[in-house]
Amino acid sequence: METITSKCVLLNAQAPDKSAAIRLAGQLLVEAGYIEPGYVDSLLKREQVANTLLGATVAIPHGMVDDRHLIRRTGVAVVQIRKGVSWKDGEPARLIVAIAAQSDEHIALLRRLTRLMQRPESIEMLVETDDPELIVSALADVPAAPAFPAPVALPWPADAEATWTLDYPNGLHARPATRWAEVAKRFASEIRIVKGLEFADAKALTGLLSLGATRGDTLNIAARGSDARRAVDAMLEVMQTLSSEEQADAERARRNAMAARRQAPDWLPEQASQTLYGLGASPGLAIGRLVHHAAQRFDIEDQPGDVIADGEALEAAVLKVRDALSVLEAETRSRLGASEAAIFAAHRELLGDAELLRDAMVQILRGHGPAWAWQHVIKARVEKLQSLADPLLAARATDLRDVGERVLGTLLGVTRQRMVLNAPSILVAEDLTPSDTLQLDMRFIVGLAISGGGPTSHTAILARTLGLPAIVAAGSALLAAPEGSQAVIDGSVGAVYLNVARADLDRAEAVVAAQAAARAALRESRHQPAETTDGHRVEIAANVANAKQAAAAIEAGAEGVGLMRTEFLFLERDTAPDEDEQYRIYREMTEVMAGRPLIIRTLDIGGDKQVPYLNLPAEENPFLGVRGARLLLTRQDLLYTQLRALYRAAKHGPIKIMFPMVTHTGEIEALRTHCARARAQVDGPVVPIGIMVEVPAVAVMADRFAPLVDFFSIGTNDLTQYTLAIDRQHPDLAAQADSLHPAVLTLIANTVRAAKASGTWVGVCGGLAGDPLGARILTGLGVDELSMSAQDVASVKAALRGESLAAMQTLAERAVAATTPEAVRAL
């Protein structure tokens, strides 16, 4: 089916502004039957969220994901404006390529556009042509006669290479790119990440981000140097390790969005002078007066001086800011958490990009002052990021601008001015950097309203962590709102209401008070047990990777550790940890737990977690290969080192040992024999031995496995992917790997029933345990313990305390009897 025809090409058009140009392109799509008329508004809305100027005077307006139901079939329209129309910061667009894509069918078009843009004469020909068929042939999926041959990438003599398909739902954004760069810097070899005809230095964060790599892109990892093979293997390891984290983050965001859409607003005004809509970025309701935030911008005068002195001054400023970011990272980790601290780790990594400083030094050598040179280089990089079509990646320009301005301030001796407030305020800004957000006076800031940005920006993440209601992408109308206006912000709905009636304000104040009381009550009650209204108690534990996380989980209300993931001791290093190192780590865990329950899972390498230095054979499908207990039984050097360390640590506090990926009863017998031998070698105490229930075979035959072990722990993530035959990292199918599928719940019910019959304790340590609905269903099925992320502990405890076991048992029965995950959620 054709996605572009000559009827969808408008030559030598005139448009006073980009909105008019977008409407012209949208009308072409409407008339050709590609879209419903309402999708034109979606094209315009996207422009408020992100800059769609791709570069080389080419713009690619496209609609919002939520509006894809308005697309009848994938189509493309082109508006040629030879004189150009101002698009972003005065930059012109002369070729407007509007895209209405139902899925990823437009990727071939974007690839073709990218190739054309690498040859400016090709774009110029399309801008000046009077033949619509030339444009059609250049952009069509399968052109009859290609107008321009694709340029061939120059060969690069790599010593080691590998190919990997990016499966991060949000593309390569700052946090995973930071990890990539950190790993690359451990090696002497030159490392390149190649995407199509472009490549980036793997050690340069800004270069990685500028690739604009999105889900489904095939990347080539190439290295040249003495340790090239090890470098490529390490890069593959970190890329694949991050996949599960990225998938989990995206799935959590998807479910949160679904929940938000199903929930009716707690408050809506009956009368308001104006309503400003954006996108909800952080939930909650707040009341305050609008206060406009003036972003700190530097008007730099070029003042060249002594070349050597200027270079040293710039380098000193960069180093000083990097040190300050390290302090800020530590403070943020202590105050808010590791995820939020990672924002400033990414900022520090941006300043570690040698190309930034080198390019600025080149400008100084050309006779420019250090401040001008630095601003010039940062501005060019920011503009390149902003020009990317993917709004998530384009939003990372804010982070680069933030660190760039920090360096300028240090270089010029200018400190950030803190806003002085004395009343509850809703801060209005065009954008806020993460540094700006942390400078806010939390005594008086009650909400954030941003005209640009997106819900995945680092500022939005910080707002959610700080508990501030926030909206983003509210457009220029927000900036025009009068300062000092009384307003109500609803971060759940994504709206700001101005000058609401007194009666509405009274109702809003009541809702705000109720929300604050609920949050306070949740925190105050976090250490109370999860005891149902009819007296049944469920143990609530946390999933952790180290002693620091365990301490934080206990502070958050966890009563124990239901899963310590020991594989993180083996990742991102060149050799396996020896027995003494592991012993020290496990002993530290027992000391932190101070007698509380502690389940330590043995090494779970394989699947999405690969370790190059173990020299394991490559597998076509590692999730179905040698992983978990299967690996330990074949690599007894790893098994005995870990078991001896665990039994030594068990002398200092109670430990349970849990084996992953068990499939056969014979494996349990073999593992018990090895445990007895390792215990004797170190004269350790007897400890409970259990297994993960994550393979359907074990769940189906749970009655035969239960008598052989001391406990079960159901891993719902892997059990779901194996039951539904869906790779939970698959870019298109991961969202369907839903643990609330009745088939998965049926297997859990069977496992619990068999465990109870033999007196075997059973817990759940997968993602389903941390979902309040999932926790209620699991409790109704009869599990003894739920283990989850520390951040979910208080809310799950509250959910279980608010209902009777009898009601949850009825809920569980109905869930198992349902036919779809959606039907389960509807309960």
Dist CA 770 CA 793 (whole Å): 7
- Report which DSSP code applies to 614: G
Residue 62 is among the residues annotated as catalytic for this protein: yes
Dist CA 167 CA 171 (whole Å): 8
Identify the bridge partners of residue 275 per DSSP, sorted by sequence position: 497
Identify the bridge partners of residue 712 per DSSP, sorted by sequence position: 691, 762
Taking a C-beta distance cutoff of 8 angstroms, is the pair 73, 102 a contact?
yes
- Report which DSSP code applies to 813: H
Residue 741 is among the residues annotated as catalytic for this protein: no
Q: Which of 293, 347, 368, 458 is catalytic?
A: 458
What are the backbone angles phi and psi of residue 392, rounded to the nearest 5°?
-65, -45
Neighbour tally for 443: CB within 10 Å: 9
Residue 652 is among the residues annotated as catalytic for this protein: no
Q: Which of 173, 293, 368, 741 is catalytic?
A: 173
Ordered alpha helix ranges (H), 75-204: 107-117, 120-128, 132-139, 174-184
Q: Which of 62, 293, 368, 741 is catalytic?
A: 62
Distances (CA, A) of 795 to 455, 538, 775: 23, 14, 10
Q: What is the 3-state secondary structure (H, E, C) of 210-279?
A: HCCCCCCCEEEEEEECCCHHHHHHHHHHHHHHHHHHHHHHHHHHHHHHHHHHHCCCCCCCCCCCEEEECE
Find the helix or strand (DSSP H, E) in which 547 lies.
helix 547-555
In 515-625, the DSSP E strands lie at 530-531, 537-544, 561-565, 598-601
Find the helix or strand (DSSP H, E) in which 524 lies.
helix 502-524
- Report which DSSP code applies to 134: H
Dist CA 389 CA 394 (whole Å): 7
Total length of the chain = 827
Provide DSSP, 621-690. SGGGSS-THHHHHH-HHHHHHHHHHHHHHTTSS--EEEE-S---HHHHHHHHHHHHHHHHHHTPPP--EE
Residue 730 is among the residues annotated as catalytic for this protein: no
Taking a C-beta distance cutoff of 8 angstroms, is the pair 691, 663 a contact?
no
- Report which DSSP code applies to 790: G
Identify the bridge partners of residue 436 per DSSP, sorted by sequence position: none
Classify burial at 130, counting beta carbons within 10 Å of its beta carbon; exposed 0-12, middle 13-18, buried 19 or more. exposed
What are the backbone angles phi and psi of residue 407, rounded to the nearest 5°?
-65, -45
Give catalytic residue positions: 62, 173, 458, 765
